[in-house]
Structure 1
Amino acid sequence: MGRELIAEDRLPALLKEHQKVADQALVERARRGDQEAFSELVRAHRAQALRMGEQDHAGFASS
């Protein structure tokens, strides 16, 4: 007991909020000179850009 179930429709919003908090922590660490945190932010940004590019390309290919 003590654990609550999360409705499936709320899960994406909760994951997005969790990622936002994690990103904010990385930004703060990077601002303090943490090279590992900066590298992780760059990696995450590149991965997101690639995903967005793939989605754009998939939409173009289907038209």
Structure 2
Amino acid sequence: MTPSKQTRLIEFLRDTLAVPADALALGLRRAEQAPNLLPMILWQYGFVDLEQLNQIFDWMEQV
């Protein structure tokens, strides 16, 4: 994932889905080696639900 796409994803997660900053920080640390896994990590830790996860994947397809 390119840095600008990752930045836009983080903005989407923060602004649209209201994922807390500390949840994003944890997800980013866990996804350091594979940034594309950030949505799955957030879901695994319960920071987003299944509907939000689908919204994230839809957003990622459109970007």
Q: Same fold (TM over 0.5)?
A: no
Which structure is richer in relative contact order (CA contacts within 8 A, separation 6 or more)? Answer: 2
Q: Under a length normalisation based on structure 2, what TM-score does the superposition of the two structures give?
A: 0.29
Q: Under a length normalisation based on structure 1, what TM-score does the superposition of the two structures give?
A: 0.29
Structure number with larger C-alpha Rg: 1
Higher helix proportion (structure 1 or 2): 1
